[in-house]
Structure 1
Amino acid sequence: AAQAENPGRIVLVDADPAAAAGDGRDAVLAAVTAGDEPQLAVRGTILSVPRLARVTDDGRVPDGTPVFDGEGTVLVTGGTGSLGALAARHLVSRYGVRRLVLAGRRGPDAEGAQELAAELTGLGAVVEVVACDVSDRTQVEALLAAVPDAHPLRGVIHTAGVLDAGVIGALTPERLARVFAPKVDAVRHLDELTRDLALDAFVVYSSVSAVFMGAGSGSYAAANAYLDGLMAARRAAGLPGLSLAWGLWEQTSGMAANTDELTRSRMNRRGGLQMMTLTEGMDLFHAALGSPRSLLVPAKLDLRGVRADAAAGGEVPHMLRGLVRTGRRSAQTGTAQDGELLRRLAGLPAADQEKTLVDLVRGQAASVLGHAGPDGVRADTAFKDTGFDSLTSVELRNRLRAATGLKLPATLVFDYPNPQALARHLHTELFPDGGTAGQDVDEERLRRALASLPLARIRAAGLMDALVKLAALDDSTPATGAFDDADEEMAVAELDVDDLVQLALGDN
């Protein structure tokens, strides 16, 4: 999450303990910093990077094949919530589970709990809805002890969880604890207290935010990453364990309902994540249940959209680089790397420089908010009144940092509350002298600009004779081949240095 909120600033290295010190470490760090990968694992001299890949080993359970012991009990935590209820219906209708325990903090008092129990009973299942805080070990012990010996526990489906959006800098121990309780604490208790049981399945609901796209959900991403790791540990110990890092659900209630439209739009633009229907989600659950892997990412991706964005100069998220093949990347418009913004501003009057920066801020703000164009963001309207929150503020900061090359704080939008004020700040940072010095191109910069141009381009622009003549001004030798036409010579003589450079660059 910290990486996603601060692109290009953090590299995570999963180091090989054998090469943790000495010359080997220095060589690894040199290789890591030379690349553009935000996460790497080091094993000896091998550097590995994480990638999402399509599952090739088909672990789908054939229809009609028993998954759970017919006489056993399956526990669904968060069982009265929207995802838990969906899983319970699936267990009964598709896998023939006949005994269910649905656990939740409110138990039978939860909204819709009685209707759900009646529905499942009508499908032939024996259902018990229990009030249990699964983050409390004592309550989990009592819950498991109540499962009858005649129908022992055979499966655990953990769907419980709490969302808490916020950038890294806004997190507190209390906010972390609130998110970790139904994820980390609960699953740790369930793992430890069922290790001696003959389970057919132990499935936990994780999140794609623990894999990538974690910006603004640091606590939730971290809690789910714990689930991913614990299921890997269970598999390594010969126990059942499967973590499903779900993408975006199409829901009107539950956790997914708390994911606002702006967040969904951002996840689609930045990571290609699309909303999947409940039916699609349960089909993916069915496809995953028999997999030998400990972690799968059931998600709906718009890879064409990611590819198109990359072709237009955007970046492919590092986790998708194995799924999205792109050609040679063209230079991204308006980035600090190619200096286009500064070239556009150089030579403009200070007032026009500021207006250009206002347009830049409005355009980037509109993109962050998902607007079709800058008209939705007025120069004098406060960012907070246009829908900005802590995460969108960080995203705008990142975009402006890439465009200007400036080091900008995460509090940028709060320090400069509207596009006009922010543009003035950017102008001050870019042109401490007020912008007047930007109208004069120093000699060294001019030499670099001209030296980078192919000779054919200078000749095609009709500037060869003029440049030869100018180059001869430093000595008394007339330039051969200089202008023969007096009018043309006069026209060139009227050009200032900026005009000449812009013509040489082909900016007519």
Structure 2
Amino acid sequence: MCGRVLRAVQNHLNEGDERQEGPGLLILTRGGCLPEGTGTGDAPDPAMAAVWGLVRVAQSEHPGRIAVADLDGHEASRQAALAAVASGEPQIAIRAGRALVPRLAQLPATAPEHGRTLDTEGTVLITGGTGTLGGLVARHLAAEHGVRNLLLVSRTGDASEAARTLRAELAEQGARVTLAACDAGDRDALAAVLAAIPAAHPLTAVVHAAGVLDDGVVTSLAPERFEPVLRAKADAAWHLHQLTRDTDLAAFVLFSSASGLLGTPGQANYAAANAFLDALAQHRQAHGLPATSLAWGLWAQTSGMTRQLGTGELRRGGRGGMDALSSEEGLRLLDAALRSAHAQLMPARLNLAALGDADPADLPPLLRGLVRAPRRTARTTAATEGPSLTQRLTALPDAERAEALLDLVRTEAAIALGHDTATSIEADQAFSGIGFDSLTAVELRNRLTAATGVRLPATLIFDYPTPTALADHLGGRLGTVPGARPAVLTELDRLEEAFATAGADDELHAHVVARLEALTAKWWSLGGEADELGAEEDDFDFDSATDDEIFGLIDNELGS
């Protein structure tokens, strides 16, 4: 399912008009989410939930281009879907014709306790058990919960020195530790590991903490890059569910990630896998089985899934309203989750002050309920009350406009990279040489789109590879820099180059003709200068013209 949706999203993003108003692509699901308080009692479909995880990331990377709605089969809901999406909410569930939106609610510190105490003589299985977080949990369960039998599953088992050291450390605490080499995504191999658990110490709890990363922006991801990420997270969780559903478990804990809920840019495959876990926990609870999915925020503890985070990434996380959890904080939240009746929780260290300072448009939909009235920032105030960027630039002397746009580009580039100031961003240095990758390129594009009000392509910094070139391009798009070449002419140059390498495929030929006809008609409809420049062509009949006649006209216009 994720592969099909990925192709649809990529086709839309690659072929759609970046400047189009409104989403342009609406993805409909059924069973992709389970809104609380609707009284339906339906269990979500984890595979459909994975689609939501993927789409949330696509929405973060390309704001305003995609919407997703989950329907319940009622005719009233189908009729309400388009109207609900038109409201501007990118993620909606429709139940009996009523539109619902995702919002995070804080769990009271005094929430009633639920759940069972872990049996100290039973066996607790931890996947990813020799990794950083898995080992942290194993030590905590042995020291604070008195667990005496731990089955730590990983791909390498006892092959690493770190795993053997962990086993020795746990043994000193009085725990009996089994290190099992097993790919939990292999159902038969996992079944064999479970079958080897001694009857004297039966399985009483599961903690699924395994996972792998393979990050990349949506437009660059191949379906094959989903498979290993889904296998480690989703497939393994499903196998654990199936193989233990007849076992009397005190806890079934899934280590998910906030990326599945917030749509962290660059993690479409990882978000899909974690959204699957969240839905699986709800699915199990709907069938009377214990389950808790923990969509963890950032951990300060370096692990296999956080070791790639540098200072810049952590600063961006803090700017987005999420600070890193210490190990002690994370383990306290784990204990609280074990006592909770909720199937899905997001343990995270949220910085509400940073959320309040953020532009409302930059907040993931899930977090908007935490900030009732976002604080007025320079950016939001300018957008709602002050003059627009174009007006501010027009008011400047000609000589200062280009410099102002360059300052804007350098400032936003510094923020995207997590720098404190723009002094490190040289005007004529290539973006690729100062730390930009596909993910930070998307963030810069989104920030400049928000600042200028102009929709910009995801390839922005590759098309205009230095701050100076990008500032000149923005000046042309905004029409504020004297002498700046109109962007439409630059794009026509690129189109002419593309014709030379397009080939002669008949289907492509016909598709290009249709697109050019539509664009030509749109250009004529703009009127003004365009009409005057093209008056001599008014008698050309596009409706009856042959393909060769249209291409002849294009050749004449392009001078070829």
Q: TM-score, normalised by structure 2?
A: 0.72
Query: Could you tell me whether the CA contact under 8 Å between 2:300 and 2:325 is conserved in 1?
Result: yes
Once the 2 structures are TM-superposed, how far is the Cα of residue 98 of structure 1 from its aligned partner? 1.0
Residue range with higher mean Cα deviation, 171-180 or 294-303: 171-180
Query: Could you tell me whether the CA contact under 8 Å between 1:207 and 1:244 is conserved in 2?
Result: yes
Among 178, 189, 192, the residue aligned to 2:239: 189
Map 1:222-261 onto structure 2 (within 5 A). Answer: 222-261=272-311
Give, in whole Å, the separation in 2 of the partners of 1:229 and 1:249. 23
Cα distance change of structure 1 residues 338 and 5 upon mapping to structure 2, 3 Å threshold? farther
Query: Quick check: 1:294 aligned with 2:347?
Result: no
For the residue of structure 2 that corresponds to 1:423, the secondary structure is helix
Once the 2 structures are TM-superposed, how far is the Cα of residue 431 of structure 1 from its aligned partner? 2.5
Among 406, 419, 426, the residue aligned to 1:378: 426
Query: Quick check: 1:326 aligned with 2:373?
Result: yes
Equivalent position of 2:230 in the other structure: 180
Equivalent position of 1:87 in the other structure: 137
Give, in whole Å, the separation in 1 of the partners of 2:435 and 2:466. 12
Once the 2 structures are TM-superposed, how far is the Cα of residue 349 of structure 1 from its aligned partner? 5.9
- Structure 1 counterpart of 2:350, one-letter code: L
Among 401, 414, 433, the residue aligned to 2:462: 414
For the residue of structure 2 that corresponds to 1:12, the secondary structure is strand
Among 468, 472, 475, the residue aligned to 1:424: 472
Once the 2 structures are TM-superposed, how far is the Cα of residue 335 of structure 1 from its aligned partner? 4.9
Give, in whole Å, the separation in 2 of the partners of 1:161 and 1:289. 21
Query: Quick check: 1:29 aligned with 2:77?
Result: no
Query: Could you tell me whether the CA contact under 8 Å between 1:381 and 1:418 is conserved in 2?
Result: yes
Runs of 4+ in 1 over 3 A off after TM superposition: 24-28, 313-317, 327-331, 333-339, 347-352, 432-438
Once the 2 structures are TM-superposed, how far is the Cα of residue 174 of structure 1 from its aligned partner? 2.4
Give, in whole Å, the separation in 2 of the partners of 1:118 and 1:74. 17
Equivalent position of 2:325 in the other structure: 276
Query: Quick check: 1:39 aligned with 2:91?
Result: yes
Query: Could you tell me whether the CA contact under 8 Å between 1:361 and 1:400 is conserved in 2?
Result: yes
Query: Quick check: 1:401 aligned with 2:449?
Result: yes
Give, in whole Å, the separation in 2 of the partners of 1:307 and 1:336. 17
Q: Which has the higher contact order (CA 8 A, sep 6+)?
A: 2
Give, in whole Å, the separation in 2 of the partners of 1:347 and 1:27. 45
Give, in whole Å, the separation in 1 of the partners of 2:403 and 2:145. 64
Give, in whole Å, the separation in 1 of the partners of 2:348 and 2:365. 16
Cα distance change of structure 1 residues 135 and 27 upon mapping to structure 2, 3 Å threshold? closer
Give, in whole Å, the separation in 1 of the partners of 2:427 and 2:484. 24
Query: Quick check: 1:75 aligned with 2:75?
Result: no
- Structure 1 counterpart of 2:311, one-letter code: E
- Structure 1 counterpart of 2:198, one-letter code: P
Give, in whole Å, the separation in 1 of the partners of 2:116 and 2:172. 21
Equivalent position of 1:495 in the other structure: none
Once the 2 structures are TM-superposed, how far is the Cα of residue 337 of structure 1 from its aligned partner? 9.6
For the residue of structure 1 that corresponds to 2:404, the secondary structure is helix
Structure 1, unaligned runs of 5 or more: 439-508
Equivalent position of 1:369 in the other structure: 417
How many residues are aligned here? Answer: 428
Once the 2 structures are TM-superposed, how far is the Cα of residue 45 of structure 1 from its aligned partner? 3.6
Cα distance change of structure 1 residues 39 and 348 upon mapping to structure 2, 3 Å threshold? same
Give, in whole Å, the separation in 2 of the partners of 1:300 and 1:372. 22
Map 1:162-173 onto structure 2 (within 5 A). Answer: 162-173=212-223
Give, in whole Å, the separation in 1 of the partners of 2:147 and 2:283. 27
Query: Could you tell me whether the CA contact under 8 Å between 1:354 and 1:427 is conserved in 2?
Result: yes
Once the 2 structures are TM-superposed, how far is the Cα of residue 326 of structure 1 from its aligned partner? 1.6
- Structure 2 counterpart of 1:279, one-letter code: E
Give, in whole Å, the separation in 2 of the partners of 1:189 and 1:228. 15
Query: Could you tell me whether the CA contact under 8 Å between 2:390 and 2:480 is conserved in 1?
Result: no
Cα distance change of structure 1 residues 433 and 252 upon mapping to structure 2, 3 Å threshold? closer
Give, in whole Å, the separation in 1 of the partners of 2:385 and 2:243. 55
Once the 2 structures are TM-superposed, how far is the Cα of residue 433 of structure 1 from its aligned partner? 9.3
Once the 2 structures are TM-superposed, how far is the Cα of residue 372 of structure 1 from its aligned partner? 2.5
Query: Quick check: 1:48 aligned with 2:100?
Result: yes
For the residue of structure 1 that corresponds to 2:74, the secondary structure is helix
Once the 2 structures are TM-superposed, how far is the Cα of residue 401 of structure 1 from its aligned partner? 1.4
Query: Could you tell me whether the CA contact under 8 Å between 1:333 and 1:340 is conserved in 2?
Result: no
Query: Could you tell me whether the CA contact under 8 Å between 1:336 and 1:403 is conserved in 2?
Result: no
- Structure 2 counterpart of 1:396, one-letter code: L
CA deviations on 1:179-226 (whole Å, 9 max, x unpaired) are 111101111111111111111111110001111142111111110000
CA deviations on 1:125-159 (whole Å, 9 max, x unpaired) are 11111111111112101101111122211111111
Equivalent position of 1:485 in the other structure: none
Give, in whole Å, the separation in 2 of the partners of 1:77 and 1:329. 45
Query: Quick check: 1:19 aligned with 2:68?
Result: no
Map 1:393-472 onto structure 2 (within 5 A). Answer: 393-431=441-479, 434=482
Equivalent position of 1:487 in the other structure: none
For the residue of structure 2 that corresponds to 1:257, the secondary structure is coil
Cα distance change of structure 1 residues 178 and 199 upon mapping to structure 2, 3 Å threshold? same
CA deviations on 1:345-389 (whole Å, 9 max, x unpaired) are 226565533222211111111121222322121111111111111
CA deviations on 1:90-112 (whole Å, 9 max, x unpaired) are 11111111111111111001241
Give, in whole Å, the separation in 2 of the partners of 1:393 and 1:139. 42
Query: Quick check: 1:4 aligned with 2:60?
Result: yes
Give, in whole Å, the separation in 2 of the partners of 1:250 and 1:107. 25
Query: Could you tell me whether the CA contact under 8 Å between 2:357 and 2:374 is conserved in 1?
Result: no
Give, in whole Å, the separation in 1 of the partners of 2:169 and 2:353. 40
Once the 2 structures are TM-superposed, how far is the Cα of residue 4 of structure 1 from its aligned partner? 1.0
Cα distance change of structure 1 residues 114 and 198 upon mapping to structure 2, 3 Å threshold? same
Query: Could you tell me whether the CA contact under 8 Å between 1:350 and 1:435 is conserved in 2?
Result: no
Cα distance change of structure 1 residues 287 and 27 upon mapping to structure 2, 3 Å threshold? closer
Once the 2 structures are TM-superposed, how far is the Cα of residue 329 of structure 1 from its aligned partner? 5.1
Once the 2 structures are TM-superposed, how far is the Cα of residue 268 of structure 1 from its aligned partner? 1.7
For the residue of structure 2 that corresponds to 1:74, the secondary structure is strand
Give, in whole Å, the separation in 2 of the partners of 1:392 and 1:121. 45
Structure 2, unaligned runs of 5 or more: 1-56, 487-560
For the residue of structure 1 that corresponds to 2:226, the secondary structure is helix
- Structure 1 counterpart of 2:191, one-letter code: E
CA deviations on 1:376-422 (whole Å, 9 max, x unpaired) are 21111111111111111011111111222223110111111110111
Give, in whole Å, the separation in 2 of the partners of 1:316 and 1:225. 19
Query: Could you tell me whether the CA contact under 8 Å between 1:78 and 1:102 is conserved in 2?
Result: yes
- Structure 2 counterpart of 1:321, one-letter code: R
Give, in whole Å, the separation in 2 of the partners of 1:216 and 1:234. 29
Give, in whole Å, the separation in 1 of the partners of 2:128 and 2:143. 19
CA RMSD of aligned residues (A): 2.5
For the residue of structure 2 that corresponds to 1:276, the secondary structure is coil
Give, in whole Å, the separation in 2 of the partners of 1:186 and 1:337. 52
- Structure 1 counterpart of 2:357, one-letter code: A
Give, in whole Å, the separation in 1 of the partners of 2:225 and 2:374. 43
- Structure 2 counterpart of 1:2, one-letter code: A
Give, in whole Å, the separation in 1 of the partners of 2:484 and 2:145. 74
Query: Could you tell me whether the CA contact under 8 Å between 2:120 and 2:145 is conserved in 1?
Result: no
